Amino acid sequence: MGDALGSDLISDLPQSIIESILVRLPIRDAVRTSILSSKWRYKWASITQLVFDEKCVDTCSDRDVVEKTVVKFITRFLFLHQGPIHKFQITISYLQSCPEIDQWILFLSRNDIKELVLELGEGEFLRIPSCLFKCKKLCHLELFRCELDPPPSFKGFLCLRSLNLHQVLISPEAIEALISNCPLLESLSLSYFDSLALSIRAPNLKYLYLEGEFRDICLEDTPQLVEISVAMYMTDDIAEHFEQSADCNFVKFLGGVPNLERLVGHIYFTKYLSIGNDPGCLPIMYKNLETIELNQVSFEDMKEILVVLSLITSSPNLKELQISGSSNIPSATDAPDLDFWEKCPSKCRLSQLRVVHLTDMCGVPHEMELIKFLLGSSPVLEIMTIIPCVYVVESQLKMLTELVKFRRASAKAEIVFIRE
Amino acid sequence: MSESDMAVIKPEIMQPCIWLQTSDGALQQVEQEIAMVCPLICEEVIQKGMGSSKNCAICLPQRVTPAALSLILDYCQFHQVSGRSNKERKSYDEKFIRMDTKQLCELTSAADSLQLKPLVDLTSRTLARIIEGKSPEEIRNVFNLPDDLTEEEKLEPLNNTTDDPRIRLLNRLYAKKRKELKERERLKNVEVEEEHVDDRSVDDLLSFINGNDADPKGMKSSKNKKKNRRKKEQQKSSSLKEASELNNKEINGHNIRPQTDGANGIAEASQSNTEDSTSVSREFDDGDIDVEMDPALQEKLDREVEDFARILNSDWPERMQELLSLGQERKATPFTSNENSILRRNA
């Protein structure tokens, strides 16, 4: 029965629009639409994207009660749900591993789940049931604090495009097999793995994010990689392992990625790349590499500086460069191998370099030489920002004095020296 | 109509145009570049070659009103210019979307039938923002929704209708009052009893197999699983049968629970089954039978229901604790006294 003033504006819109609206509501509000009118009773029950977050039930001070309420809510929701479920996300910090989750995953595996995100609270890791591996249509998988144990009969997720494992317990063979058995994998993110030696074979991989203690990373077959971001932590174990390794890490890691567009390294990444025999002249040019960001580069280690330089000179189309020093208080103002810079190819032109950001600069000789090199080889440089390390207040004046002397290839270049 | 026509035609005398026909039969000439932003129009032009003249004007879907079309064309005209920054586009969108709800719904419908996804996303987001945080009464006002769920509404202050088993019970008992019961009862009385018995024996069997000292939680969940699955299958087969069966169990539930259920696991399962069964039967919008057979019982239930409603409406959190603890006590007794009886029954 419509109002005298107007007829129902919304209930007869096609289900795809209703879904479009309901999916943008917090899930609680979506369920509440069931009491709007008789037509709306079950509209919420066929939405295909379910996102359960901290606010989906009322909180109270007793964590157990809230957890039970959430579990009941989700279970009942799933039971009342009709139709396929394409996305299922739980991001609830007060929910811990519980037996109901296994049932939910089983239910999802029968309902064409495509995107699954499980982020539970700190505590016992959730043991993922084997029914997850039967989700044939899975495209996107994101797990936090879980234990994964693929059964031997598992042949891979054939539709998986994106895999994100954060603090997940899984054996190295299993993770390598998982990666190589997902032929469509485009984006891979692994964080907080302990002491993992990884060899990645993924012909369609475009985006790679690694964070943790990796003993070894070998990009065996990743020709399509476009973006790499690595944060490498170091333990004594790994440091020792590195001392003994003779392979050239640079080539192992960056030797097979000609399409690279963006490279980001944190913490010990540059050190990692510097280990191993000197490759000499690099075998490949990174024609598409436009952004390089290397953090915590130690300018007292000649090998690391070489790595930085090789990268820069092998990227003719580099547009943006960001380097941060390792903010260790320099032990000496003198540095060996300064004459290396004289031998540096002066005809190297960074013809596309426009923006340079340097942070945590201590003013050590190699840093200054690098700046000099950059200024002298970038004809279209627009801006260079230098932020000195906070510990070295005295040498800032010295840095500035030297900076002023450097020849600039670009008339437009602005040097911005930012002091706290 | 003609004004907008003029505005569109004048500046682009040299531009290729497309003829469009809206649901009211009126013809309109629109710059091709702008109209082609809509996938549906694009398809019509490219694949079917329509729209080049008045005679083969593209007939737009029914849901595209002239007003909506004009808004859509404005939208397309702004966004198809490539030089604009994201910020500009966003601020245009925010201004564009300011209109009354009726127009907004018409626009959503029209954009959807023209397959213009970015605009559908924009309008959906806006509609979601309108709905979010409002009380059901407010939402009904905004969209002119009929208020035809009166009983359930009474429970509205409790806010979350999917939350508690007792709300579900309340819901169903209320619904019972206003539905025709007799036909259902006549049809299903006999099968109801059989089903009921079947369930129970399977439950007992399960508990026997799993062992009574097995983890009650585990038992509960596996049983729940089985029950849920079974309920689901039954759902697909004959709806009324199940509805009545579940109802019966539940009505008898209050007083007869200790007898029908044995071990703790079953009691728990049955309680949560009640929850699920209430949800299931809600599906069929009825679930009410057997009450007529005992008017005294019905009256008692009515009174109970009203008490319930009053209690629930008054002091919610404390009452919930009370009721839950009451439920716990009831469950405890059957476990200890009937444990042996199950084994004996099955032996």
Instruction: Decide if A40 touches B, using CB distance below 8 A.
Output: yes
Q: How far apart are CA A219 and CA A217, in angstroms?
A: 7
Could you tell me the pTM of the whole model?
0.68
Q: Are A85 and A108 in contact (CB under 8 A)?
A: yes
User: Which residue type, as a one-letter code, is found at position B134?
Assistant: K
pLDDT in tens, B35-84: 888 888 888 888 888 878 888 888 888 888 888 888 998 999 898 888 88
Q: Do β-strands B17-21 and B27-31 pair in parallel, antiparallel, or remain unpaired? A: antiparallel
Test B275 with A76 for CB contact under 8 angstroms: yes
Write down the pLDDT at residue A381.
93
Q: How far is CA A298 from the centre of its chain?
A: 23
Write down the pLDDT at residue B175.
63
Test B145 with A32 for CB contact under 8 angstroms: no
Write down the pLDDT at residue B261.
38
Write down the pLDDT at residue A329.
60
Instruction: Decide if A107 touches B, using CB distance below 8 A.
Output: no
Write down the pLDDT at residue A105.
93
Write down the pLDDT at residue B345.
43
Q: How far apart are CA A364 and CA A318, in angstroms?
A: 25
pLDDT in tens, A399-417: 888 899 999 988 999 999 9
Test A99 with B131 for CB contact under 8 angstroms: no
Test B124 with A24 for CB contact under 8 angstroms: yes
| Chain B residues within an 8 Å CB radius of A57 | 160, 163
pLDDT confidence tier of residue B326, bands split at 50, 70 and 90: low
Nearest to B146 among A2, A24, A29 (CB): A2
Which structure tokens are listed for B169? 């019970």
pLDDT confidence tier of residue B23, bands split at 50, 70 and 90: confident
Instruction: Decide if B179 touches A, using CB distance below 8 A.
Output: no
pLDDT over 90 at A356, yes or no: yes
Cα torsion at A332, A338, A344, A350 (round to 10°)? Answer: 30
Chain A interface test: which of B106, B144, B230, B325 (most A C-beta within 10 Å): B144
pLDDT over 70 at A96, yes or no: yes
Q: Are A100 and A75 in contact (CB under 8 A)?
A: yes
Write down the pLDDT at residue B236.
44
| Chain B residues within an 8 Å CB radius of A29 | 131-133
Q: Are A242 and A233 in contact (CB under 8 A)?
A: no
Chain B interface test: which of A15, A17, A29 (most B C-beta within 10 Å): A17
Write down the pLDDT at residue A342.
73
Instruction: Decide if B217 touches A, using CB distance below 8 A.
Output: yes
| Range among A243-247, A282-286, B133-137 with highest mean pLDDT value | B133-137
Test A29 with B132 for CB contact under 8 angstroms: yes
pLDDT confidence tier of residue B191, bands split at 50, 70 and 90: low
The secondary element (H helix, E strand) that includes residue A180 is helix A172-180
Instruction: Decide if B149 touches A, using CB distance below 8 A.
Output: yes
Mean pLDDT rounded to a whole number for chain B: 64
Nearest to B132 among A1, A26, A58 (CB): A26
**CB count in 10 Å sphere of residue B322:** 12
pLDDT in tens, A126-150: 999 999 999 999 999 999 999 999 9
Closest CA to A77 of B161, B231, B12: B161
pLDDT over 90 at A206, yes or no: yes
- pLDDT mean over B205-232: 47
Compute the nearest-CA separation of B102 from chain A (Å).
6
Compute the nearest-CA separation of A34 from chain B (Å).
9
| Chain A residues within an 8 Å CB radius of B275 | 76
- pLDDT mean over A223-232: 93
Instruction: Decide if B306 touches A, using CB distance below 8 A.
Output: no
Residues 6+ away with beta carbon under 8 Å from A230: A208, A209, A210, A211, A217, A264, A265, A266, A269, A272
| Chain B residues within an 8 Å CB radius of A32 | 136, 159-161
Compute the nearest-CA separation of A186 from chain B (Å).
25
Q: Does residue A363 or residue B344 have the better pLDDT?
A: A363
Write down the pLDDT at residue B155.
52
pLDDT over 70 at B267, yes or no: no
pLDDT over 70 at B182, yes or no: no
pLDDT over 60 at B200, yes or no: no
Write down the pLDDT at residue A392.
76
| Chain B residues within an 8 Å CB radius of A58 | 160
Chain B (46-105) residues lying within 8 Å, Cβ to Cβ, of chain A: 101-102, 105
Compute the nearest-CA separation of A124 from chain B (Å).
18
Closest CA to B123 of B111, B133, B113, B131: B111
Test B136 with A10 for CB contact under 8 angstroms: no
Write down the pLDDT at residue A207.
96
Residues 6+ away with beta carbon under 8 Å from B59: B21
Write down the pLDDT at residue A273.
87
Q: Which residue does chain A place closest to B124, by CA atoms?
A: A21
pLDDT over 70 at A22, yes or no: yes
Write down the pLDDT at residue B244.
43
Instruction: Decide if A9 touches B, using CB distance below 8 A.
Output: yes
Q: Does residue A374 or residue B239 have the better pLDDT?
A: A374
Write down the pLDDT at residue A352.
92
Write down the pLDDT at residue B25.
83
Nearest to B140 among A32, A37, A77 (CB): A37
Q: Does residue A74 or residue A277 have the better pLDDT?
A: A74
- pLDDT mean over B76-98: 89
Q: How many CB pairs under 8 A join A and B?
A: 117
pLDDT over 80 at A46, yes or no: yes
Q: Which residue does chain A place closest to B276, by CA atoms?
A: A76
Instruction: Decide if A110 touches B, using CB distance below 8 A.
Output: no
| Chain B residues within an 8 Å CB radius of A37 | 140, 145-149
Lowest mean pLDDT among A205-219, A353-367, B139-153, B296-310: B296-310
Chain A (51-90) residues lying within 8 Å, Cβ to Cβ, of chain B: 57-58, 69, 72-73, 76-77, 79-80
The secondary element (H helix, E strand) that includes residue A254 is helix A249-254
Instruction: Decide if B112 touches A, using CB distance below 8 A.
Output: yes
Does ipTM top 0.85? no
Q: Could you give the angle at which helices B101-113 and B117-131 cross, rounded to 10 degrees?
A: 150
Inter-residue long-range contacts of A154-157, CB under 8 Å, 24+ positions, other chains counted: A154/A181, A155/A181, A156/A180, A156/A181, A156/A182, A156/A183, A157/A133, A157/A181, A157/A182
Write down the pLDDT at residue B247.
46
